[in-house]
Amino acid sequence: MTDYLVYDVFTATAFGGNPLAVFPDASTLPDDLLQKIAREFNFSETAFVYPPDDPVHTARVRIFTPTTEVPFAGHPLIGTALALHDLGRGDDMVLELGIGPIPCSVRKGLARFTTTAPLTIDAHPGLAEVAACTGLLPGQIRTDRHLPIQAGVGLTFVMVELNDTAALSAAHPVTEAFRTAAALWPAGMDFATFLYVRDGAQVHARMFAPLDNIPEDPATGSACAALGAFLSQLEGQSLTLLINQGADMGRLSHIQVETELSDGLCAAIHVSGRAVRMMEGRLTL
């Protein structure tokens, strides 16, 4: 039997944010069951914690969506850091992920992680295909600042700026269009698409990944990190973004992203958020 915890992440309120299952000690679980366990929970991600490969670090973390293992994700990092902190693992830790070690800290209930993974740009998907995926008209996509771009900092997303919050609320995932687009532009998750509207530091966002069994995600820290890195390099300055996501799902999330620019490149991305413990239980396999 293996204990697990469930946290709502990127929220200070129960039933908000993005649910996460955390197994604080997954060392006895067979590898071939991890994906099945994640599918059973059917959250956006499930985190499995192991002893670190490097003894100076705190732990090694494997992250699974309902369909695949991913090397990096934001809300599992925030939720796992807070879970380990609640279990007495200290205020500062280094968690080993598929993209390398990630320093994390917890201060007065606020968790923060920092990644120095470089921004990678995979493709510039077509405007018509992106609109079809999101149930929008091409004219509802804002293009004066940038065209849709497929990029990431460890996990790839299609980042799309919209004209206004009305377009953001009207968007919805069209699965067959996602299948077509994913075949045209394969990278990372299956054309996972991050829509946003920005007013200065304030950002309203939604994320669709129906081919990964995530029709909509209430909070996507890895996409928010990618957006921060991309906009920082696009504008040539360090940025602070206050991102609200999940409002249209009734699961409002608050994600803070801070970037550090050096020689025109994003040298570091800091992502912060809170989480609420919702459940604890025991896997009886």
Tell me the average pLDDT across 227-243.
98
Tell me the average pLDDT across 259-284.
96
Cβ atoms within 10 A of the Cβ of 19, count? Answer: 24
> What pTM was estimated for this model as a whole?
0.95
Sequence-separated contacts (24+) of 177-180 with Cβ below 8 Å: 177/129, 177/132, 177/133, 178/133, 178/208, 178/210, 178/211, 179/211, 180/129, 180/132
Q: Phi and psi for 249 in degrees, rounded to 5?
A: -95, -5
Q: What is the pLDDT of residue 260?
A: 97
Q: What is the pLDDT of residue 188?
A: 72
Q: What is the pLDDT of residue 49?
A: 98
The residues assigned a catalytic role are: 45
Tell me the average pLDDT across 198-227.
97
Asked if the model's pLDDT at residue 223 lies above 90, the reply is: yes
Where would I find the H helices in the chain? 31-41, 74-86, 127-133, 165-170, 175-184, 221-235
Q: What is the pLDDT of residue 129?
A: 97
AA letter at 282: R
Residues in the chain: 285
Q: What is the pLDDT of residue 209?
A: 96
Q: Which residues contact 73 (CB under 8 A, 6 or more apart)?
A: 45, 63, 155, 220, 221, 222
Give 206's strand partners.
195
Q: What is the pLDDT of residue 65?
A: 94
Quick one: pLDDT band at residue 41, thresholds 50, 70, 90?
very high
Cβ atoms within 10 A of the Cβ of 94, count? Answer: 16
Asked if the model's pLDDT at residue 285 lies above 90, the reply is: no
Where residue 18 falls (left for φ over 0; alpha for ψ -120 to 50; beta otherwise) is beta
Tell me the average pLDDT across 252-277.
97
Quick one: pLDDT band at residue 189, thresholds 50, 70, 90?
confident
Q: What is the pLDDT of residue 93?
A: 97
Domains and CATH numbers, the chain: 2-112+274-283 (3.10.310.10), 120-272 (3.10.310.10)
Residue indicated by tokens 């050096």: 262
Tokens of 9: 């992440």
Please answer whether residues 242 and 228 qualify as being in contact, where contact means their C-beta atoms are separated by less than 8 angstroms.
Answer: no
